A and B are shown apart, each in its own frame.
Chain A
Amino acid sequence: QQQVKQSPQSLIVQKGGIPIINCAYENTAFDYFPWYQQFPGKGPALLIAIRPDVSEKKEGRFTISFNKSAKQFSLHIMDSQPGDSATYFCAARPGQFSGNTGKLIFGQGTTLQVKP
């Protein structure tokens, strides 16, 4: 299955809160899981990424948690700020050696609003 399911569709938190966005996949051949951030009127930009042999990755206030057995991964934003208000997409790449190199499958997106 070449699908990535993302939830929730939208999320509202207060400044300082910790929004969590979840993604699930079926294809165990996926080998790379990035998260993208998109501001209104702009193209998505890479935020943070993880490989399936790692359970957690932190970059600044952003953390990916990865559960290989459950085929789920999530994005946590620590101490969220109004400037984090954006749409977030998870994605997954079919395995590099399956002939799909360079192709990313995206989730449905989550619109995050951080209230001051």
Chain B
Amino acid sequence: NAGVTQTPKFQVLKTGQSMTLQCAQDMNHEYMSWYRQDPGMGLRLIHYSVGAGITDQGEVPNGYNVSRSTTEDFPLRLLSAAPSQTSVYFCASSYLTSGGQEQFFGPGTRLTVL
């Protein structure tokens, strides 16, 4: 299993440009999430999904869109990039266990918006 994969690893955008961060998982997990990581802010939840066709907002959803047409894929779209969106983005997938939940993270995408 490849686990959770993310592309690209690095990206530089200009203000106002749009792009899609790709995320895929091959573990057949129902739950997927997008986080951004900023120094001193921890991991903040952007959007999450509890299954194909179902998404919801997290703590910091403004400026981002998601869709989940298949179990495997959960892309994150930036419609008009802003410097405040400079961050490291992590996608994660998870499944429920008897004790709680196991969440697996991808390797991250480092995004710079100029």
Of the candidates A31, A36, A46, A104, the one whose C-beta lies within 8 Å of that of B45 is A104
A45 interfacial by beta-carbon distance below 8 Å: yes
| Cβ-defined contact, B42 with A109, below 8 A | yes
Binds A, one of B13-21, B30-38, B64-72, B79-87: B30-38
> What is the bound-complex CA distance between A49 and B48, given in angstroms?
21
Also in contact, A108 and B42, with CB within 8 A (given A49-B100, A101-B50): yes
**Considering only CB atoms and an 8 Å cut-off, how many residues of chain A contact the other chain?**
28
Q: Which residues of A contact B (CB under 8 A)?
A: 2, 6, 9, 31-32, 34, 36, 41-46, 49, 51, 89, 91, 93, 96, 101-109
Bound-complex Cα distance A101 to B105 (A):
17
Q: Which A residue sits closest to B35, measured CB to CB?
A: A106
List of B residues within 8 angstroms of A91 by Cβ: 43
B108, chain A: closest CB distance, angstroms? 6
Chain A minimum-CB-distance residue to B90:
A43
The answer to whether residues A105 and B41 also contact, given A43-B106, A46-B103 and a CB cut-off of 8 A, is no
Q: How long is the Cα–Cα vector from A45 to B102 in the complex, in angstroms?
A: 10
Q: Which residues of B contact A32 (CB under 8 A)?
A: 99-101
A-B contacts besides A34-B103, A46-B102, A109-B40, 6 pairs, CB < 8 Å? A2-B59, A6-B42, A46-B103, A101-B31, A101-B50, A102-B96
Cβ B101 vs Cβ A106 within 8 A:
no
Give the distance in Å from the alpha carbon of A28 to the alpha carbon of B105 in the complex. Answer: 26
Do B105 and A51 have beta carbons less than 8 Å apart? no
Q: Is B22 an interface residue (CB 8 A)?
A: no
- Per CB-CB distance, the 5 closest pairs between chain A and chain B, nearest first, are A102-B31, A43-B105, A32-B100, A106-B43, A108-B42
The distance in angstroms between the C-alpha atoms of A34 and B99, with both chains bound, is 11
Question: For the complex, what is the distance from the CA of A89 to the CA of B42, rounded to whole Å?
Answer: 7
Partner of B90, one of A44, A49, A93: A44
B75 within 8 A of A: no
B40's contact among A36, A101, A108, by CB below 8 Å, is which?
A: A108
* CB atoms of A102 and B50 under 8 A apart: yes
Contact B99 A103 (CB under 8 A): no
Give the chain A neighbours of B61 by CB distance below 8 A.
none
